[in-house]
Structure 1
Amino acid sequence: MRGLDFRKKRRRSSTGLRAQKSRAARRGLRFEDKSEKLHFAKEKLYSPTGIKSLVLWSVEILIVCMAAVFLVAAFGQRVSVAGDSMAPALRNGDVTLVNRLVYRFVKPSRGDIIVFSQSGDTHYSVKRIVGLPGETVQIKEGKILIDGEELTKDVSASDIAYAGLAEEPVELSADEYFVIGDNHTASDDSRVPGVGNIKEDDIYGKAWFIAGPWEDMGFI
């Protein structure tokens, strides 16, 4: 008798569940089988289309990371300016970004502000190019002469009190540059025996942007 009663209860319970589903359907509701949804999601993930999407997504992330590393290495190397030898263009403590890529395609030009480190030197210097390979540079009566002609453009080069090595004509070889600081009176540059002419291989890159401090930020 107890077994018979149990079957009746099960039957009523099953009937009640069907009735609930029927009422829910009339109300616009539906029951979902979570196990079926999970199975469908797994099939979608491990399907050829899902694997292809995952691979493409991974490749895109890798490309973005590589591009970021390249851009930082090529254009985002930071060099701090020590001293006021390049004032007013650059001041003591300014942080400049260096373009290391540009001189792979073009030669340094007169007026460029370059970052360089000579052999055996442990720090970088920042100066402006005034003399190019093959030219003869001389400082006479406070003026810079290039091949005997006064330099009147591209750089501010007047009233230079100290001529140093350039008191006599300085001939630049095919891979040498003559550099000078904008603040002539406070600059150790190509006029000084300890610096002299700058070899092309010693040029680290071109300073192109001041990244800090905030009040100095901007293109050079």
Structure 2
Amino acid sequence: MSENIRKEIISWIKLVATAFIIAFLLKTYIFQIAYVKGPSMEPTLYEGQILIVSKLSYRVGEPSRGDIVVLSDNLEHKDLIKRVIGLPGDNVDIRDGYVYIDGELLKEDYIQVPTYANEFQQSQVPENKYFVLGDNRPESRDSRSDSLGFVDRENILGKAVFRLWPLNKFGTIK
């Protein structure tokens, strides 16, 4: 093999290796792709939509009320997409079809049906945990359920920030 061909092969190997390392670092620390599965976030998100999730958002800050987050569900070993409702220290109550935070009615213009407490009792969100709900409350396994409950901060993987698919919904997520 000639010296020029050997140098060209080594050059290509370095290029491919660098691309893989950059892709790995971006996926691990900066962003990931998420697929919406199920109806729990309707009417905001629908099954089959593809989202970009910013991991960097929560490396430099904390989740805020109203953020749509991707979280790791240790019980079912899958990722879930939910909305942050209660922050650490908040007193969350659900009554008469509405959510109250520290006694104040939470304005939620992204839901279309009442919120029922199910088994959830008025509680204070523990330190380093979050209370999350799906926007389609009757079809959502969320913090009202004992099987999910309050979500540990370390289980929140990132903030859903952009919708890639379908193209007619392409853009930022609110």
Q: Is the 8 A contact 1:142 1:158 kept in 2?
A: no
- The answer as to 2:75 corresponding to 1:117 is no
Provide the residue aligned with 1:100 in structure 2: 55
Worse-superposed segment, 191-200 or 65-74: 65-74
> Following the alignment from structure 2 to structure 1, what is the Cα–Cα distance between the partners of residues 91 and 148?
17
Point out the structure with the larger strand share: 2
Change (3 A) 1:191 1:120: closer
Aligned counterpart, 2:26: 71
Cα separation, 1, equivalents of 2:57 and 2:111:
25
Match of 2:118 among 159, 164, 167: 164
Check conservation: 2:39, 2:139, Cα contact below 8 A.
Answer: yes
Give the Cα separation in 2 of the matches to 1:202 and 1:69: 20
Q: Give the number of the structure whose alpha-carbon radius of gyration is greater.
A: 1
Q: Which has the higher contact order (CA 8 A, sep 6+)?
A: 2
Asked if the contact 1:151/1:157 (under 8 Å) is kept, the reply is: no
The RMSD of aligned alpha carbons is 2.7
TM-score scaled to structure 1, two decimals?
0.65
Q: Which residue of 2 aligns with 1:213?
A: 166
Give unmatched runs, 5+ long, in structure 2. 1-10
Instruction: Output the CA distance in 1 between the equivalents of 2:105 and 2:96.
Output: 11
Q: TM-score, normalised by structure 2?
A: 0.80
Measured against aligned partners, the alpha-carbon deviations of 1:118-170 in whole angstroms (never above 9, x if no partner) come to 324321100000100011101011111111111126x646852421233x211
Mapped contact 2:43–2:111 kept (Cα < 8 A): no
Q: Tell me the residue number matched to 1:187.
A: 140
Unaligned runs of 5+ in 1: 1-56
The structure richer in helix per residue is 1
How far off its partner does 1:218 sit?
1.6
Q: Distance in 2 between matches of 1:170 and 1:193?
A: 13
